[in-house]
């Protein structure tokens, strides 16, 4: 018995000893361990499309300009010390801060900036971010610290484009040296420099400037949500994101952990097909928004981790202004349908949803089906796997399903794009690439197209506010479902955690006791 006992404690001690080095390293206050659900494929900002990569790129790279704060209240210089616009709004001239160097020692000068934008716009790179930058038609370098970007028409959102993480400035020397392997050997000029990346395992950044708060930031992808919580519970990580609502009670009950809930720019909605009845009638687009109880969806399905939409964009999106939420009034919705279709609307509403792409998407869609049946609409429901869903929704050919020629009346989608122009124009201006519902409204077209070239920031924002008002109260393009929230769990000693609404945290602002 004693022997057995000793053996067991010996075993435990060995296990403990084996785990100690890792645990001890992470307990150090100069190392921050951050856990996310997904890994990335490349750390080359020009071609990356993943948000998880953006988290690290934000630490490693600088851009010409950047968002001042997480509420997107304004834009400040990053590499640029100052900038000016020509009177016709076609030329943007930036003066770079002198003496900035990439982590490989080469200078961050105007030529380096030009190299990056030329690379992005080069069709041979085949960057998925290219079209954002093709508005730039010419780039002139006046001297080492002065660069001028020219566009064919005024681009009011130029600075916003330059805030995108794809506009990060890489070291030209490193891009040329590593070629196809640059995505594994990124070199920027941010507060942290790239140290190592083992795909699927971990990435390590090392502090490279006095503004770096940590000696090391470790990023680990842990796909299983439950495992992320256990990593925190066992003290192996400082911060874990995308905590499932059902695990939040456990985090709250644990005295060593705490829960941080931050609004997300993610809004999830049923996009309506405006090319066929009943949603070719704006009155019924409004009516259907009265048919569902969004508060109940947020409370019962999302476990309270969401908010009821009060605008066609979520809080945290540029141009957001709260408006009166749609009141839940199924009788009103029913009367509106009866008024529009005196004999009753006899077609079957075809509803599509993806599953697992957005928080509880399928469950929410099913609940909506229940609400629609309750006001007397016949419905048919189809659940899609994401890749086929996307392909079907965007299919342009006649007889296909995109752009209002869809076989469905409504389909679930979500978006987290934080800038007003990109978020609204692509989905709502007549004939635009992501206008899947065939929405067409001359007032909205005029407002959004006008805002694109309106160089006065106040007048531009006014146009967006007016568009938002129409899109909410008069001719809603969607059946609005919920705004997501970011659920993050941290060790108790972690403070100052903040994140952009598009779910990119500012890890260098965090403090660790």
Partner 1 sequence: MLDYAIYRIAVLLPTLLAVSLAVFLVLHLVPGDPARNAAGPDAEEEDIALIREHYGLDQPLWKQYGTYLVRLSQGDLGESFRSRRPVLDEIMRRLPATMELAGFAMLLAVLVGVGMGVAASMKPNSWVDDAIGALSAFGISVPVFFLGLLLMLLFAARLQWLPPSGRGSWANLVLPVVTLGLPYVATFARVTRSTMLEVLSEDYIRTARAKGLMRRTVIWRHALINAAIPLVTLLGVYFGRLLGGAVIVETIFAWPGLGRYMVDGIIQRDLQVVQGCILFFATAIVVVNLVVDLLYSVLDPRIARG
Q: Which residues bind partner 1 (CB under 8 A)?
A: 12, 15-16, 18-19, 21-23, 38-39, 41-42, 44, 47, 49, 123, 126-131, 134, 180-181, 183-184, 198-202, 220-224, 226-227, 230-231, 233-236, 385-388, 390-392, 394, 415, 417, 422, 426, 433-434
For residues 502 and 484, give the distance between their C-alpha atoms in angstroms, rounded to a whole number: 10
Whole-number Å distance between alpha carbons of 211 and 497: 17
Whether 333 and 290 have beta carbons less than 8 Å apart is answered as yes
Minimum CB distance to partner 1 smaller for 3 or for 17:
17
Assigned token pair, 510: 């965090």
Q: Smallest distance, Å, CB 221 to partner 1?
A: 6
The smaller minimum CB distance to partner 1, of residues 33 and 148, is found at 33
Residue for token digits 């924002």? 461
CB of 131 to partner 1, least distance (A): 4
Yes or no: say if 317 and 420 are a contact pair by the CB < 8 Å rule: yes
What is the DSSP secondary-structure string of 387-400?
HHHHHHHH--STTS
Give dist(CA 146, CA 118) in Å, integer.
Answer: 16
CB of 256 to partner 1, least distance (A): 12
Asked whether the beta carbons of 355 and 364 are under 8 A apart, the reply is no
What minimum distance in Å lies between the beta carbon of 25 and partner 1?
10
CA 102 to chain centre: 27
Nearer to partner 1, 14 or 496 (CB): 14
Q: Which is nearer to partner 1, 175 or 291 (CB)?
A: 175
Residues near 179 by Cβ (< 8 Å), separated by ≥ 6?
none
How near is the Cβ of 119 to partner 1 at its closest, in Å? Answer: 13
Nearer to partner 1, 129 or 483 (CB): 129
| CB-side neighbour CA atoms (13 Å) of 401 | 16
Neighbour count for residue 28 (Cβ, 10 Å): 12
Please identify, using beta-carbon distances, which residue of 153 and 339 lies nearer to partner 1.
153
Nearer to partner 1, 23 or 98 (CB): 23
Look at residues 238, 241, 262 and name the one whose alpha carbon lies nearest to residue 315: 262
Give the DSSP letter string of 9-64. HHHHHHHHHHHHHHHHHHHSTTEEEEEES---S---TTT---HHHHHHHHHH---S
Nearer to partner 1, 146 or 449 (CB): 449
The residue among 191 and 402 lying less far from partner 1, judged by its C-beta, is: 402
CB of 413 to partner 1, least distance (A): 8
Neighbours of 325 (CB within 10 A): 16
Q: Is 144 helix (H, G, I), strand (E, B) or coil?
A: coil
9 or 348: CB nearest partner 1:
9
Residue nearer to partner 1 on the CB measure, 62 or 248: 248
181 vs 496, beta carbon nearer partner 1: 181
Long-range contacts of 142-147 (CB under 8 A, 24+ apart): 142/93, 142/110, 143/110, 144/96, 144/107, 144/109, 144/110, 144/111, 145/95, 145/96, 145/98, 145/109, 145/110, 146/93, 146/94, 146/95, 146/96, 146/110, 147/93, 147/94, 147/96, 147/110, 147/113, 147/114
Q: Residue 295, by phi and psi: left (phi above 0), alpha (psi -120 to 50) or beta?
A: alpha
- Shortest distance in whole angstroms from residue 497 CB to partner 1: 22
Q: DSSP string covering 203-239, please?
A: EEEEE-STT---SEEEEEE---HHHHHHHHHTTS-SE
Instruction: Give the nearest distance from C-beta 404 to partner 1 in angstroms.
Output: 16
| CB of 425 vs partner 1, minimal distance in Å | 12
Shortest CB 293 distance to partner 1, Å: 28
């Amino acid at each position: 018995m004693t022997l057995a006992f000793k053996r067991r404690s010996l075993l435990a001690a060995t296990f403990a000893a084996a785990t100690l080095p890792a645990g001890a390293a992470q307990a150090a206050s100069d190392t921050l361990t951050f856990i996310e659900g997904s890994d990335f494929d490349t750390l080359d900002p020009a071609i990356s499309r993943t948000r998880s990569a953006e988290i690290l790129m934000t630490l490693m790279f600088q851009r010409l300009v950047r968002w001042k704060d997480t509420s997107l209240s304004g834009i400040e210089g990053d590499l640029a010390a100052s900038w000016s616009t020509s009177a016709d709004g076609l030329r943007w001239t930036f003066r770079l801060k002198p003496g900035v160097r990439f982590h490989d020692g080469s200078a961050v000068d105007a030529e380096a900036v030009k190299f990056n934008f030329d690379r992005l716009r080069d069709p041979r790179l085949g960057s998925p971010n290219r079209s954002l930058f093709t508005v730039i038609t010419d780039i002139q370098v006046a001297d080492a610290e002065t660069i001028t970007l020219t566009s064919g028409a005024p681009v009011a959102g130029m600075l916003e484009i330059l805030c995108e993480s794809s506009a990060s400035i890489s070291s030209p020397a490193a891009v040329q040296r590593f070629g196809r392997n640059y995505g594994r050997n990124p070199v920027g000029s941010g507060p942290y420099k790239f140290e190592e990346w083992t795909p699927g395992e971990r990435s390590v950044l090392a502090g490279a400037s006095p503004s770096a708060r940590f000696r090391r930031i470790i990023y680990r992808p842990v796909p299983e949500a439950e495992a992320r919580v256990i990593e925190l519970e066992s003290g192996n990580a400082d911060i874990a994101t995308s905590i499932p609502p059902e695990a939040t009670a456990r985090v709250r009950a644990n005295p060593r952990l705490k829960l941080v809930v931050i609004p997300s720019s993610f809004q999830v909605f049923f996009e309506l097909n405006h090319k066929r009845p009943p949603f070719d009638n704006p009155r019924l687009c409004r009516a259907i928004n009265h048919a569902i109880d969004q508060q109940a969806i947020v409370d019962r399905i999302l476990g309270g981790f969401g908010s009821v939409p009060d605008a066609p964009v979520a809080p945290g999106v540029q141009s957001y202004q709260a408006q009166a939420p749609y009141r839940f009034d199924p009788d009103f919705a029913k009367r509106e349908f009866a008024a529009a279709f005196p004999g009753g609307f006899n077609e079957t509403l075809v509803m599509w949803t993806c599953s697992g792409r957005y928080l509880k998407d399928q469950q929410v869609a099913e609940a909506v089906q229940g609400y629609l049946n309750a006001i007397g609409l016949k419905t048919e429901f189809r659940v899609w796997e994401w890749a086929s869903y996307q392909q079907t929704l965007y299919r342009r050919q006649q007889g296909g399903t995109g752009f209002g020629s869809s076989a469905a009346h409504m389909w679930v989608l979500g978006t987290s794009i934080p800038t007003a122009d990109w978020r609204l124009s692509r989905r709502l201006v007549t004939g635009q690439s992501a206008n899947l519902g065939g929405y067409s409204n001359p007032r909205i077209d005029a407002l959004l197209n006008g805002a694109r070239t309106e160089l006065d920031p106040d007048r531009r924002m006014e146009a967006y506010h007016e568009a938002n008002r129409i899109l909410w109260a008069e001719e809603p393009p969607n059946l609005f479902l919920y705004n997501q929230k970011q659920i993050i769990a941290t060790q108790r000693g972690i403070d100052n955690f903040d994140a952009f609404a598009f779910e990119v945290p500012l890890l260098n602002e965090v403090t660790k006791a």
